[in-house]
Chains A and B, each alone.
Chain A
Amino acid sequence: MMEKKIVIQNETGIHARPAGIIVKEAAKFKSAITIEKAGKEYNAKSIMSLMTMAAKKGEEIVIKANGEDEAQAIEALTNLILNGLE
């Protein structure tokens, strides 16, 4: 299992649209992927789960992946959340 800690950068945080983008990216990987915020884990392949997480700008999250492509998954999602959600 791999994990990475990041801070949400985009102004509006993870709302419906960004959540949809993350889910589509996460679905490309075989690994189980979760995002942890404030001690609670959310499924990165579930739009409803991510929406209820409601992460805001400046909040810290941990991306966790477990599976054969975990390294690629972590890299792709970190990149997306830090740069690709505007």
Chain B
Amino acid sequence: MLKGIAASSGVAIGKALVIVDKEVEIERRTIENVEAETTKLQNAVATAKEQLEKIKEIAREKIGEDKAQVFEAHLMMLEDPEFIGAVEAQISAESICAEYALKQTADMFISMFESMDNEYMRERAADIRDVSKRIINILMGIETASIAEIDRECIIVINDLTPSDTAQMDKEKVLGFATDIGGRTSHSAIMARSLEIPAVVGLSNVTTTVKTGDMLILDGDEGVVIVNPDEETLQKYREKQQKLIEYKKELSKLVNAESITVDGRKVELAANIGTPSNVEGALKNGAEGVGLFRTEFLYMDKDSLPTEEEQFEAYKAVLEGMEGRPVVIRTLDIGGDKKLPYLKIDEEMNPFLGYRAIRLCLDRKDIFKTQLRALFRASVYGNLKIMFPMISGIEELRQAKAVVEEVKNELKVEGIAYSNDVEIGIMIEIPSAAIVSDILAKEVDFFSIGTNDLIQYTVAVDRMNEKISYLYDPFHPAVLRLIKMVIDNAHKEGKWAGMCGEMAGDERIIPVLLGFGLDEFSMSASSILKARKLITSLNYEEAKKLADEVVMCATSEEIKSKIQNFVNR
């Protein structure tokens, strides 16, 4: 049994197809006929273009416009006169073969890009490598085992998958894949999840251990690959696979269903997203809204602040994409641990207690106002709600709302349209805010409980510190009491309460949250259907009783066993 990293859920059982990507040796050959060699190069470039156009089309259909962009960049490189022109010049100046000239030129560009001071640009070196390898393979007549041409069911075993490989994968034929390198967030893992193909990555030596034709069991949840299993093991995994398939089928029936308990209590199950391209996945998984759109991606990986226009486009895309469903956008939550090099924030002893989020925004009103302007301009394209992070008390809320008024007035004066129905809410993630939530509730439209930070601050546990990770406990009675208090205080003022931390999607605790009266549960898109299946099987009145009992418990162990008994009844 080979142990790797569980990258994409599901069980695959089938024959292995090992694809070995050989490093080709490129010799410096001198040639006689420069003209013929140049024509050969041009033909190869034309063939590469055809291949890429095809891949781009397939990618667009299978994985979406956004991820297909990378092939557009590859195509532009093929048409680049400086690149191909330099290769041609080298062929004629030195009378050398096309593949060697191409390799030389590509290497020069690769080292140029790799030495740039911007990470995004450094990554472009990988694109040049991908493109030049394609042309070299054509020039040298190397048949690459093309993943697009696989004609029988198999599990792909490969060192690593490039974007062009994954984009061409036929889901009917490729049962799963196993790679030597990569992690949960590597490109191949992300693609596997969006294609819903079971995958295990980072197996380090799977390409050398497994041979084409070997029988494989690949478990994308446990992160293991079993080579040539015995009949008993096969049977065990076939059953597991069958169960998973049936479970998925049942879940997929719930995509358009309401999230409603057996006795009629309706809640909203929403998605947490990080970029506009996540909208597609949210809807596919049955999201009834976006409960948290983190805007940080607009600010990261660049060397200056995003413009109002850039932000406007992103917000508009999400609002339009969600087609009128509620979208909660959180204003900038950065500083401390998440640094922006161009903002030059001083080193801090306790970044989690430091200059960040709303604290930074109220200090740097220029940044805050640009974001709010973009948000309000976008507000006419959907159902926008704005949420401030890290609010600790009423003064911050009032200050932030004053800036909102300022921005609205400016827009009015400029004659720019915005919606008057934008709800303003806050994240409850600091205990002080939870404790005065009765006061805060009077001046907001909603609360969204951020449990990741709320737990950390309530029990004073650094969630990155492994030595004390046992203290990071969502079942802690104090955490649950705070959550109940916040929801009650919202309801007393006729406001709604949501939750956007990891707890909201945790099936172990959803019955209690439901019983507390939580109105909106926002989680990663992949958890929504499971949560809906659970909620539609629960009784709200009974969940309320469970919740009342739970807050009286002394320890998290007692709480866990109470919930367990409730679910198993």
- Chain A residues close to B by CB (< 8 Å): 10-13, 15-16, 20, 23, 43, 45-49, 51-52, 54, 56-57, 86
Contacts and interface: CB of A to CB of B under 8 A. Distances in A.
B305 interface: yes
A46 B112 CA distance: 15
Contacts of A52: 109, 112-113, 116
B76 A47 contact: yes
B307 A86 contact: yes
B76 A23 contact: yes
Interface of B: 72-73, 76-77, 80-83, 109, 112-113, 116, 118, 120-121, 124, 128, 302-307, 309-310
A51 B109 CA distance: 11
Contacts of B128: 48
A54 B116 contact: yes
A67 B484 CA distance: 74
A16 B69 CA distance: 12
A43 B82 contact: yes
Q: Is the interface of A mostly helix, strand, loop or mixed?
A: loop
Contacts of B305: 11
A72 to B, nearest CB: 20
A20 B70 CA distance: 12
B73 A49 contact: no
B81 A20 contact: no
Contacts of B309: 86
Contacts of B81: 43, 45-46
Given A12-B302, A86-B307, A48 B80 contact: yes
A20 B73 contact: yes
Nearest to A43: B82
B472 to A, nearest CB: 38
Given A12-B307, A16-B121, A20-B72, 12 more contacts: A11-B305, A13-B303, A23-B76, A23-B80, A48-B80, A48-B83, A48-B128, A51-B113, A51-B124, A52-B112, A52-B113, A54-B121
Q: Which 3 pairs show the lowest CB-CB distances between chains A and B?
A: A46-B82, A49-B82, A86-B309
Nearest to A86: B309
Contacts of A15: 118, 120-121
Nearest to B307: A11
Nearest to B84: A46
Contacts of B113: 51-52
Scoring A11, A13, A45 by chain B CB atoms within 10 A of each residue's CB, the highest score goes to A11
8 contacts: A23-B80, A46-B80, A46-B82, A47-B77, A47-B80, A48-B82, A51-B113, A54-B118
A46 B83 contact: yes
A20 B73 CA distance: 8
Contacts of A51: 113, 121, 124
Contacts of A12: 302-304, 307, 310
A47 B77 CA distance: 7
Contacts of A13: 303-304
B255 to A, nearest CB: 34
A52 B113 CA distance: 7
Contacts of B121: 15-16, 51, 54
A49 B79 CA distance: 12
Nearest to B76: A47
A83 to B, nearest CB: 11
Given A43-B82, A46-B82, A20 B76 contact: yes
A48 B166 CA distance: 25
Contacts of B310: 11-12, 86
A47 B307 CA distance: 24
A6 to B, nearest CB: 18
Nearest to A19: B76
Nearest to B313: A86
A42 to B, nearest CB: 8
A56 B307 contact: no
A45 B80 CA distance: 7
A66 B109 CA distance: 26
B304 A16 contact: no
B404 to A, nearest CB: 24
Nearest to A20: B76
A20 B76 CA distance: 8
A24 B305 CA distance: 26
A16 to B, nearest CB: 7
B80 A16 contact: no
A86 B311 CA distance: 11
Contacts of A49: 80, 82
Contacts of A56: 303
A12 B305 CA distance: 8
A85 to B, nearest CB: 10
Nearest to B304: A11
A45 B84 CA distance: 12
B109 A48 contact: yes
B304 A48 contact: no
Contact of A11 (B80, B124, B306): B306
Nearest to A49: B82
A13 B116 CA distance: 15
A56 B81 CA distance: 24
Nearest to B309: A86
Contacts of A11: 304-307, 310
Contacts of B118: 15, 54
Nearest to A50: B82
A60 to B, nearest CB: 17
Contacts of B307: 10-12, 86
A57 B342 CA distance: 13
